[in-house]
Amino acid sequence: MSTHPRAESLMVREKLVKAFEEGVVTTAGLIAHGRGECFDYIIGEKTRSFAFKAEKTAVAALLLADHPVISLNGNATALAVKEFIELARLVNAKIEVNLFYKSFRRIKTIARTLEENGWTEVYGVNKNVCATIPEISSLRCEVDSRGLYIADTVLLSIEDGDRTIVFRKMGKNVIAIDLNPFSRTSLWASITIVDNIIRAVPNMVSIAKTLRSEDKPRLKEILEDYSNTETLKEAVSLINSRLGLFALKGTFDLNVLENDGEKAYLNGR
């Protein structure tokens, strides 16, 4: 498979299928991934400058937060559990499991995955410390009273917008990783990272290694220099120009194609 032009994408799919078989990911999670792949294809499957800026700002926000919480669902766990753990250590965040298709069995399976990767203090597992956010209509309303309930800054990824909207109305900062800049999550988040989780979280780990030694005024400067509306405008503008180019030339710009096989194929058409 390593010679296949879409090898990386196929390996990511295999990861998700394996996680599905283990009970981490749901069937709807597999469908959600397909939507993400489509957006990733259009943005060119690389971290764009607007995404990198959002990643840097997100790390600054996490470092400035009093109660940062990383919220994990099935897809996020399957695709980036090790990196999320590393990030949590670097920014001193809690990790909470919060699921749309909630079952105690799935929560335990995801908690076990975290434990196998070296993270033992998993929030969202202990029913005795459960609080409810009634405005959230799904079972994601049940949160950990020591985690998401009191969080001032929440990092979430690959989900629909309901929770983001409620969290924002509660005054929490929401950092969302979502390849779809049109989604309600993207529109409502304080900081939207329009990038694939498999690139975004490793980037954030690298950024955190540098930013954690910066002082608070510098981190605040980074936050002040960020506009989520501008980020979304830049993301849509990139999509627009790439699609426009394709409409004109019948291909994305040959000069930016990195894969020789793909270039040869397009040149030979």
Distances in Å between the alpha carbon of 142 and those of 98, 174, 211?
8, 18, 33
Residues 113-132 that bind ligand PTJ (CB under 6 A): none
Closest separation in Å from C-beta 39 to ligand PTJ: 5
Q: Rank residues 21 and 260 by Cβ distance to ligand PTJ and give the closer one.
A: 21
- 134-142: Cβ within 8 A, 24+ apart: 135/166, 135/169, 135/170, 136/162, 136/163, 136/166, 137/162, 138/100, 138/102, 138/162, 139/99, 139/100, 139/102, 140/98, 140/99, 140/100, 140/102, 142/102
Q: How far apart are CA 178 and CA 123, in angstroms?
A: 23
Q: Rank residues 57 and 219 by Cβ distance to ligand PTJ and give the closer one.
A: 57
Q: Rank residues 41 and 226 by Cβ distance to ligand PTJ and give the closer one.
A: 41
Which residue's CB atom is positioned nearest to ligand PTJ? 36
Contact by Cβ (8 Å): 93, 70: yes
Residues 25-44 that bind ligand PTJ (CB under 6 A): 26, 28-29, 32-33, 35-36, 39
Q: Print the binding letters for residues 95-114 with ligand PTJ: x by CB under 6 A, - otherwise.
A: ----xxx-------------
Q: Print the binding letters for residues 8-27 with ligand PTJ: x by CB under 6 A, - otherwise.
A: ------------------x-
Q: Rank residues 184 and 212 by Cβ distance to ligand PTJ and give the closer one.
A: 184
Q: Rank residues 138 and 251 by Cβ distance to ligand PTJ and give the closer one.
A: 138
144 near ligand PTJ, rule: CB under 6 A: no
Question: How would DSSP label each residue in 171-227?
Answer: T-EEEEE-S-TTSHHHHH-SEEE-S-HHHHHHHHHHHHHHHTTS-HHHHHHHHHT--
The residues pairing with 68 across neighbouring beta strands, listed in sequence order, are 153
Q: Rank residues 95 and 177 by Cβ distance to ligand PTJ and give the closer one.
A: 177
53-80 b/e with 16+ CB inside 10 Å = b? bbbbbbbbbbbbbebbbbbbbbbbbbbb
158 near ligand PTJ, rule: CB under 6 A: yes
75 near ligand PTJ, rule: CB under 6 A: yes
Q: Rank residues 146 and 163 by Cβ distance to ligand PTJ and give the closer one.
A: 163
Rg (C-alpha) for the chain, rounded Å, is 19
Residues 185-204 that bind ligand PTJ (CB under 6 A): 196-197
Closest separation in Å from C-beta 21 to ligand PTJ: 15
Phi, psi of 148 (to 5 degrees): -60, -30
181 near ligand PTJ, rule: CB under 6 A: no
Q: What is the 8-class DSSP label of residue 124?
A: T
Q: Which of 71, 153, 173, 180 binds ligand PTJ (CB under 6 A)?
A: 180
Q: How far apart are CA 41 and CA 238, in angstroms?
A: 12
Q: Rank residues 61 and 177 by Cβ distance to ligand PTJ and give the closer one.
A: 177
- Which positions lie near ligand PTJ, rule CB under 6 A? 26, 28-29, 32-33, 35-36, 39, 73-75, 79, 99-101, 158-160, 177-180, 183, 196-197
